[in-house]
Amino acid sequence: MKKVFAKPKSLTEIPFTYCPGCHHGIIHRLIAEAMNDLDITKETIGIAPVGCSVFAYLFFDCDMIVAAHGRAPATATGIKRVKPDNIVFTYQGDGDLASIGTAEIVHAANRSEKITVIFVNNAIYGMTGGQMAPTTLEGQVTQTSPYGRDPKTMGMPIRICELLSTLNSPAYIARVALTKPAYIVKAKKGIQKAFQYQIDGKGFSLVEVLSTCPTNWGLSPKEANEWLEKNMIPYYPLGEFKCVEEGILNVR
Amino acid sequence: MAERLLMKGNEAIGEAAIHAGCRYYFGYPITPQSELTAYMARRLLKIEGAAFIQAESEIAAINMVYGASAAGGRVMTSSSSPGISLKQEGISYIACAELPCVIVNIMRGGPGLGSIQPAQGDYFQATKGGGHGDYHLIVLAPSSVQELVDLTIKAFDLSDKYRNPAMILGDGLLGQMMEPVQFKEFNKKSIPAKEDWALGSSKGREARRIVPFNLDPNELEKLVNEIGQKYQDIQKEVEYEVFNIDNPDIIIVAYGIVARIVKTAIQKAKKEGINIGLIRPITLYPFPGAAIEDIASKVEKILVTEMSLGQMVEDVKIAVNGKAKVSFYGRTGGVVISPVEILEEVKRLLK
Ligand SMILES: Cc1ncc(C[n+]2csc(CCOP(=O)(O)OP(=O)(O)O)c2C)c(N)n1
Ligand code: SF4
């Protein structure tokens, strides 16, 4: 029988620790496929965040380090400056990247560190049990916005791709989703492109992946996908926000 | 013979670091250590393959250090008191991950924003861990610009040897003063190879993981115990200076710049027929407790002088363990102790 589908070699044999229906697993797979397709696994150093994906260090078959909550872009910067020939990526949740680590992501992007950031936006804090994230939608109920996020006192959800795209320096910024096969194909292309930008030395690349958290949203996996499409995509439009083909040095 | 150069303390640390093979520096400006950050920029930005980054904050800087060290780089950061407080989370991670690096703290007055004048109020923070969890830094306390050079080089070697962060604990006065220094021939072979643990290309070997946590209490206890064993080993690195300790009327314990001021007080005292001895811890962690205990059995009175409300005095009391009477004299908030007031205090105690 012909094998048409298999686990990418860039993943280890260790089973994922994610809840059923959670997109973290799909995102891991897409990163691993990109590493395989680009043949960079053995050259790659990954940085796991603090959040549900803290265990990402176990799942990728490349050198990995766990960063402090929010500080992955700084840790990645240190690694890349010592090992410029290696491919360096961070994997970060929205609490990690858009809340505690806002300064680190903005400045790593602004220095156009030659790293790739995979930013998982599930509109909530997963690991700590469903508190409000900076990306939590208006009116969304969480543990710490029990009456719904009220923009008057809690601000509006932060759009990271749009925010970072106002900077001159980053080379590639895109937002993708995974709720349909067509989206997954695009997401895979986006992640691959982000790594390719780093391989080509063009500068900072980031892919935001809209993701589900069925557990803390209190929805079944199917309902979670529907909720994401209905509520998140209208506020967080998909697409490429920045795609500086020549690399930053040529566009100043 | 290496030539003698007149250098400012902060710049001497920078040159010493580069001399010792440090090629990565991440920092954020703060008085009174800004010249060091500027010096590293001037030097490292001209060295092929080296990196200097003015980070967006101390937090970012220390986490850059974490990454650079994990990738096998010889790396340093520096700051002054409030900035060091911000680095504590990162330092705790580095200690847990057992990575080497050098952290310079040129102390100023505190707490809070405090002042920009010299002080020694960060002794507790430096020697007792400072960040969360069970860990220690290797802490070296220079008292001259030459020692800033020698101990910076030593800090890199010790941090590599034990894979533990090392701190240079100086104060604003030391950072700002100029003195002649010499750089001895540096043996590059003293930088150990890090290929057997650092992150990089995993071709031909298993992937490596640097993980500063363990959710299994028994496993974490094992790790913390292993790190604790390292602190036992580090005890053999104790270093201290004794001065004028034959037949002293009293012994003073002081470190850093205060020890220099005590030496002036000792000269003044001699003229008045008073014999003051000095013991100066050079390593604050490991602390020269045994040496202090030894001396305590030979005198009645020990005076600890510090530019703080009294921090090292606690370690001295533990070391002395009742064998002599320990008292304390300190100035704080950025006030520099004078030799005259030390002598007055000695006279008061000897009365
Ligand atoms: C300094 C610090 N503050 C808080 C925490 C607790 N904490 C762990 S994970 C987390 C939120 C993670 O949320 P997110 O980044 O959105 O990732 P997710 O779990 O949703 O994948 C927080 C607040 C921590 N570990 N460290
Ligand atoms: S808590 Fe949410 S984000 Fe975390 S693994 Fe479960 S579903 Fe995924």
Q: Which ligand is nearest to the CA of A136?
A: 1
The model's pLDDT over B250-297, given as tens digits with 9 standing for 90+, comes to 999 999 999 999 999 999 999 999 999 999 999 999 999 999 999 999
Tell the residue nearest (CA) to atom 5 of ligand 1. Answer: A69
Report yes or no: B56 and A107 within 8 Å, Cβ to Cβ.
yes
Report yes or no: A22 and A217 within 8 Å, Cβ to Cβ.
no
Ligand 2 atom nearest to A17, measured from its CA: 5
Position A248 confidence tier, pLDDT thresholds 50, 70, 90: low
Q: Cβ-count burial of A23 within 10 angstroms (0-12 exposed, 13-18 middle, 19+ buried)?
A: buried
Tell the residue nearest (CA) to atom 5 of ligand 2. Answer: A18
Q: What is the mean pLDDT of residues A14-35?
A: 98
The model's pLDDT over B208-253, given as tens digits with 9 standing for 90+, comes to 999 999 999 999 999 999 999 999 999 999 999 999 999 999 999 9
The model's pLDDT over B130-139, given as tens digits with 9 standing for 90+, comes to 999 999 999 9
CA atoms of B142 and B132, how far apart (whole Å):
26
A 10 A CB-CB count for A6 gives 6
Position A249 confidence tier, pLDDT thresholds 50, 70, 90: very low
Query: DSSP per residue over A44-88, as a string?
Result: EEEEE-SSGGGGHHHHBSSEEEEPPTT-HHHHHHHHHHH-TTSEE
* The pLDDT value given to residue A247: 59
* The pLDDT value given to residue A105: 98
* The pLDDT value given to residue A139: 98
* The pLDDT value given to residue B189: 76
Nearest CB to B60 within list A43, A64, A104: A104
Look at residue B306 and tell me whether its pLDDT is greater than 90: yes
The chain-wide mean pLDDT, for chain B, equals 97
Location of structure tokens 């430096």: B126
Look at residue A31 and tell me whether its pLDDT is greater than 60: yes
Residues of A in contact with B61 (CB under 8 A): 74
Q: Lowest mean pLDDT of A85-89, A234-238, B192-196, B276-280, name the range.
A: B192-196
Helix (H) or strand (E) holding A247: none
A 10 A CB-CB count for B277 gives 22
Q: Any CB–CB contact under 8 A between A60 and chain B? A: yes
Residues 6+ positions from A150 with CB-CB distance below 8 Å: none
Ligand 2 atom nearest to A21, measured from its CA: 7
Report yes or no: B296 and B319 within 8 Å, Cβ to Cβ.
yes
Q: Which ligand is nearest to the CA of A133?
A: 1
ω before A20 within 30° of 0 (cis)? no
* The pLDDT value given to residue B1: 58
Nearest CB to B67 within list A60, A74, A107: A74
Q: Cβ-count burial of A148 within 10 angstroms (0-12 exposed, 13-18 middle, 19+ buried)?
A: middle
A119 C-beta closer than 6 A to ligand 1: no
* The pLDDT value given to residue A251: 42
* The pLDDT value given to residue A245: 78
H helices present in B214-311, as ranges: 217-234, 257-271, 289-296
Residues of A in contact with B68 (CB under 8 A): 78-79, 81-82
* The pLDDT value given to residue B6: 97
Nearest residue in B to A44, CA atom: B201
Q: Which ligand is nearest to the CA of A50?
A: 1
- Quote the ligand 1 centre to A111 CA distance (angstroms): 25
Helix (H) or strand (E) holding A120: strand A116-121
Q: How far is CA B330 from the centre of its chain?
A: 20
Q: What is the mean pLDDT of residues A45-56?
A: 98
* The pLDDT value given to residue B2: 79
Helix (H) or strand (E) holding B127: helix B123-127
Q: What is the mean pLDDT of residues A177-181?
A: 98
Look at residue B186 and tell me whether its pLDDT is greater than 90: no
Q: What is the mean pLDDT of residues A132-142?
A: 98
Contact A66 B75 (CB under 8 A): no
A 10 A CB-CB count for B15 gives 20
A125 C-beta closer than 6 A to ligand 1: yes
Position A252 confidence tier, pLDDT thresholds 50, 70, 90: very low
CA atoms of B258 and B169, how far apart (whole Å):
13
Nearest CB to A74 within list B64, B72, B200: B64
Look at residue A170 and tell me whether its pLDDT is greater than 50: yes
Closest alpha carbon to B55 in A202, A182, A74, A119: A74
- Quote the ligand 1 centre to A53 CA distance (angstroms): 10
Position A5 confidence tier, pLDDT thresholds 50, 70, 90: confident
CA atoms of B250 and A95, how far apart (whole Å):
58
Pocket mutation for ligand 2, best pick of A17, A26, A52, A227 (most atoms within 8 Å of C-beta):
A52
Q: Any CB–CB contact under 8 A between B133 and chain A? A: no
The model's pLDDT over A62-114, given as tens digits with 9 standing for 90+, comes to 999 999 999 999 999 999 999 999 999 999 999 999 999 999 999 999 999 99
Tell the residue nearest (CA) to atom 6 of ligand 2. Answer: A19
Ligand 2 atom nearest to A130, measured from its CA: 1
Tokens standing for residue B108: 């100023």
A145 forms beta bridges with: A142
Q: Any CB–CB contact under 8 A between B195 and chain A? A: no
Contact A81 B24 (CB under 8 A): yes
Tokens standing for residue A78: 């240190």
* The pLDDT value given to residue A2: 87
Total length of chain A: 252
Which 3 state secondary structure label does DSSP give A13? coil
Residues 65-104 of A with CB under 8 A from B: 65-68, 71, 74-83, 85-86, 103-104
- Quote the ligand 1 centre to A24 CA distance (angstroms): 15
Q: Taking each helix axis as running N to C, give the angle between helix B289-296 and helix B312-320, from 0 to 180 degrees, rounded to the nearest 10.
A: 60
User: In Å, how far is A162's CA from the nearest CA of chain B?
Assistant: 21
Look at residue B86 and tell me whether its pLDDT is greater than 50: yes
Position A1 confidence tier, pLDDT thresholds 50, 70, 90: confident
Residues of B in contact with A81 (CB under 8 A): 24, 51, 53, 64, 68, 73
Look at residue B178 and tell me whether its pLDDT is greater than 70: yes
A134 C-beta closer than 6 A to ligand 2: no
pTM listed for this prediction: 0.97
- Quote the ligand 1 centre to A136 CA distance (angstroms): 14
A18 C-beta closer than 6 A to ligand 2: yes
Look at residue A250 and tell me whether its pLDDT is greater than 50: no
C-alpha dist (Å) from residue B329 to B9, B110, B285, B336, B337:
26, 18, 22, 12, 9
Residues 6+ positions from B249 with CB-CB distance below 8 Å: B274, B275, B276, B299, B301, B346, B350
Which 3 state secondary structure label does DSSP give A89? strand
